Chains A and B, each alone.
Chain A
Amino acid sequence: MSEAGTSETETVLEVRGLMSAFDTEQGLLRAVDRVSFSVDRGKTLGIVGESGCGKSVTAMSLIRLLPQPAGRILGGEVWFKGEDLLKVSDTRLHEVRGGEIGVIFQEPMTALNPVHRIGRQVSEVYRLHRKMSKKEAWEASIEALRRTRIPSPEVRIGDYPHQLSGGMRQRVVIAMALACRPDLLIADEPSTALDVTVQAQILDLIQRLQAEMGMAAIFITHDLGVIAENCDDVVVMYAGRVVERTSVRELFANPLHAYTRGLLDSIPRLSLPPKSRLNTIPGMVASLSELVHGCRFCQRMDREGPLLQERPPFQEVSAGHWVEACPECYGGEAHRAA
């Protein structure tokens, strides 16, 4: 951790024009199409969008963990503490992953090895990244589990993953991700598979540990409630592109892109009359092979014409509020109605 990090807006991660694709029978399909954002120390960035919008592919591209052999990073830069992670050697990348960048996946069962005890899996992180002895690593693991508030960690450390509940498993994964006090945490739907009560515990825990360690975080979620309560800034993704980017408060107070508005309007809220019709976004995200070059939300809304030919510019329309300025989706019909 750099000691120079005293200024309040130190950028931990800066992503510029990231492009990732999958090599399929239908050719190279671009799942992430020139995505840019940055995360400051101690802040949380939310990435939101429907499934299939490229949220997870974006996150996995940052640490070059795309599914192989199909996944490819086509271009862009990922600046993390003065290095472009897309260019560093594999050895350096292994140090970064799990050491300086921690990752939490949605389903903890897939992140844990079912045939090894919890203790072995957590202490492996210390053995690899901190070069600790077996005994030291074991002690450190107990401490790490205690930090995530697992009751009686010295007993639990001998359990296998299947002996733990979903919430407890997710705590183990958090303990592993945060073991080396990373500068950045990437959490991909960390609470989606859990009950609301357990979700609240887990999110509260991540927030608390984040404050303690002063780390930055990227939260990937489809739940706008999670965004509103846990994030500082937000990136709205649609069909592989960022359509809006701003602070969370600004996004909820003043959503500009038709897609963002559509998402916000679809949530059932306690203020709505019961059994009333909810707003929806018609249709669905087009499959990767059918995406147009121009405005992809116009494509979904079945709008025709030149809008589908050219990619709309990404503009800063007020301080810190960026939007993909398609004449229809921003300032167009959606706006006139408001």
Chain B
Amino acid sequence: MTDGKPAYLLSAEEVKVYFPLRGGLLLRQTATVKAVDGVSMNIGEGETVGLVGESGCGKSTFAKAVVRLLTPNAGSIHFEGEDITHRSPRGLRPLRGDMQMVFQDPVESLNPRQSVRQIIEEPLIIHRRGKSVERRRRVDELLERVGLPRNSGEKYAFEFSGGQRQRIGIARALALNPKLIVCDEPVSALDVSVQSQIINLLLELQSEMGISYLFIAHDLAVVQHVSDRVAVMYLGKIVELADAETIYKKPRHAYTKALLSAIPEPDPTIERERILLEGDVPSPINPPAGSAFGHRISHPKYEETIGMDLSLVEIEPGHWVARDPTCLSEEDWVRVSG
């Protein structure tokens, strides 16, 4: 924070998003789903932060809170140094162009009744950018930039393949020159060959335009490839955060290790010891009182973690991990607790 410029494009502090669960005759609130339970994260300019975890861990909910499609119940979100945690929809409007999203299923995120040109032009119209002729030129420019054929504008989304539809989604997100794009599983539905085309496109756009990404995916190899830093999320909390290389080469948290060992390795000569996790992701409705992951693996020290502060500590410069005796090696535990 030298020349008054904020250190990060986006800072999320202790963000919590809870959903009430209603039931019974009078639809009284019967429980609370703690979808995101105290997540902090910074994203720098031109940086990609990857977010991984099993389905239901709160990745997408956190992403929606970050771009303020949801209002967090607690915590704060700063964008370019400004607090946007409680901004009204009208107050957020000028920022909408700066923060965009790309979704997993390109089919469902594109209006089937609009031509591709209308889809890409819509944000320009809403934000009153340029006259009709200028908008037309801008759409042509965007189509070309994302690698779609020139005549695509006049077609409809369903006429395209999955990969091309994702290009349409990216073109729409780029229309207003965003500073941050939240990519929610952008390549999960695509074949490897097409997946690599989309990843290359996202990487190119970043180096040309300095866009920052929050990149959510469950494919860890993809996340590692595109990210500068990676956060691992488990049941509403970040359990480990480090630069991409460190997460993959020296994971400290037992959950990160299990996730890594579950990826099928495309090399038949590697014989690996696989850590098989029993059971499913626990429900965020009644989370265990202590360490959620310690509970899943029935760790003998689980009882100790009830009531313990399991927040992140910096075990090595830039490498954060939950202070959790059930999830760290003994050596690491001594280091962070000593």
| Contact between chains at A225 and B196 (CB < 8 Å) | no
Q: Are B224 and A263 in contact (CB under 8 A)?
A: no
Of the listed stretches A10-18, A19-27, A198-206, chain B binds A198-206
CB distance from B19 to the nearest CB of A (A): 19
Given contacts A51-B191, A204-B274, A284-B194, contact A278 B225 (CB under 8 A): yes
Interface status of B298 (Cβ within 8 A of chain A): no
With A165-B280, A204-B274, A268-B221 already in contact, the answer to whether A274 and B192 are too (CB < 8 A) is: no
Contacts of B278 in A (CB 8 A): 201
If A195-B281, A197-B54, A278-B225 touch, does A252 touch B196 (CB 8 Å cutoff)? no
Instruction: Report yes or no: B221 in contact with A267, Cβ–Cβ below 8 A.
Output: yes
Number of A-B contacts (CB under 8 A): 124
Q: CA A225 – CA B267 in complex, angstroms?
A: 7
Question: Are B225 and A195 in contact, with the CB atoms below 8 A?
Answer: no
Q: How near does chain A come to B56, taking the closest CB pair, in angstroms?
A: 9
C-alpha spacing A268/B227, complex, angstroms:
12
Chain A residue nearest to B227 in the complex (CB): A274
Residues of B within 8 A of A263 (CB): 192-193
The reply to whether the CB of B277 lies closer than 8 angstroms to some CB of chain A is yes
Interface residues of A in 182-226 (CB under 8 A from B): 195-201, 203-204, 222-226
B300 on interface, CB distance cutoff 8 Å? no
Find A262's partner among B193, B221, B228 (CB 8 Å cutoff): B193
The A-contacting residues of B in range 272-297, CB under 8 angstroms, are 274, 276-281
Q: Complex formed: what's the CA distance from A284 to B192 in Å?
A: 12
- The answer to whether residues A228 and B265 also contact, given A195-B54, A196-B218, A280-B200 and a CB cut-off of 8 A, is yes
- Give min CB distance, B136 to chain A, whole Å: 28
- Known interface pairs A268-B221, A274-B245. Does A199 touch B262 (Cβ–Cβ under 8 Å)? yes
Chain A: interface size category = 35 or more
Does B269 belong to the interface (CB within 8 Å)? yes
Which residue from A151, A165, A201, A225 sits with its C-beta under 8 Å from B266?
A225
- The residues of A that contact B164 with a CB separation of less than 8 Å are 284
Q: What residue in chain A is nearest B164 (Cβ atoms)?
A: A284
Bits for B214-249, please: 1 = Cβ < 8 Å to A, else 0.
Answer: 000011111011111000000000000000110010
Identity of the chain A residue whose Cβ is nearest the Cβ of B249 in the assembled complex: A270
CB distance from A214 to the nearest CB of B (A): 22
Chain B residues, CB < 8 A from A113: none
Asked if A336 CB lies within 8 Å of chain B CBs, one says no
Q: Are B192 and A224 in contact (CB under 8 A)?
A: yes
Give B117 Cβ to nearest chain A Cβ, in Å.
22
Q: A195-B218, A252-B267 are in contact. Are A278 and B276 (CB under 8 A)?
A: no
Please tell me if A92 contacts chain B, counting CB pairs below 8 Å.
no
> How far apart are B21's CB and chain A's nearest CB, in angstroms?
16
The complex places the Cα of A202 from the Cα of B196 at a distance, in Å, of: 27
Q: Interface residues of B, CB < 8 Å — how many?
A: 48
List residues of chain B with CB within 8 A of the CB of A195: 54-55, 218, 281
Rounded to whole Å, the gap between the CB of B243 and the closest CB of chain A is 9
Q: How many whole Å from B41's CB to the nearest CB in chain A?
A: 19
Q: How far is the CB of A76 from chain B (nearest CB, A)?
A: 26
Cα A199 to Cα B264 in complex, Å, equals 9
A278 in complex: contacting residue of B200, B219, B244, CB < 8 Å: B200
Known contacts: A228-B265, A252-B269. The answer to whether A275 contacts B221 by CB under 8 A is: no
- Asked if A201 and B276 make an inter-chain contact with CB atoms under 8 angstroms apart, the answer reads yes
Report whether A229 and B264 are in contact in the complex, using a CB–CB cutoff of 8 Å: yes
User: Which A residues from 159 to 174 make CB contacts under 8 A with B?
Assistant: 165, 167-168
A276 to B266, CA, bound (A): 19
Q: Would you give the 0/1 interface string for B102-123, flagging 1 where the beta carbon is closer than 8 Å to chain A?
A: 0000000000000000000000
Report the bound CA distance from A252 to B192 in whole Å.
Answer: 16
Instruction: List A contacts of B224 (CB < 8 A).
Output: 268, 270, 274
Tell me, in angstroms, the Cα distance from A264 to B228 when the chains sit together: 24
Tell me if A135 is interfacial: C-beta within 8 Å of chain B: no
* Interface 0/1 of B173-209, CB less than 8 Å to A: 0000000000000000001111111011001000000
Q: Which residues of B contact A280 (CB under 8 A)?
A: 193-194, 196-197, 200
Distance between Cα atoms of A187 and B194 in the complex (Å)? 24
Segment 259-283 of A: residues with Cβ below 8 Å from B? 262-264, 266-270, 272, 274-281
**Contact B268–A249 (Cβ < 8 Å):** yes
Tell yes or no: B163 within 8 A of A by CB: yes
Q: How far is the CA of A275 from the CA of B54 in the complex (A)?
A: 23
CB–CB A272/B266 < 8 A: no
A195 to B195, alpha carbons, bound, how many Å? 18
Of listed A167, A197, A227, residue having the most chain B CB within 10 A: A197
A248 contacts partner chain B, Cβ-Cβ < 8 Å: yes
Contact A228 B267 (CB under 8 A): yes
Give the shortest distance, in Å, between B327 (CB) and chain A (any CB): 15
Q: Which residue from A50, A196, A270, A284 sits with its C-beta under 8 Å from B262? A: A196
Q: Which residue of B lies closest to A274 (CB)?
A: B244
Closest B residue to A51 using CB positions: B191
* A266 and B192 in contact, given A195-B55, A197-B258, A197-B259 (Cβ under 8 angstroms): yes
B132 close to chain A: CB less than 8 A: no
Q: Using a CB-CB cutoff of 8 Å, which residues 42-86 of chain A contact chain B?
A: 50-51
Give 5 pairs: A residue, B residue, CB < 8 Å, sorted on A.
Answer: A168-B280, A195-B54, A197-B262, A230-B264, A268-B222
New contact pairs (6) apart from A267-B192, A272-B225, CB-CB < 8 Å: A196-B259, A197-B259, A230-B264, A269-B221, A275-B225, A284-B194
Q: Which 4 A-B pairs have the closest CB atoms?
A: A225-B264, A278-B196, A268-B225, A281-B193
- Tell me the A residues contacting B by CB distance below 8 Å: 50-51, 151, 165, 167-168, 195-201, 203-204, 222-230, 248-249, 252-253, 262-264, 266-270, 272, 274-281, 284
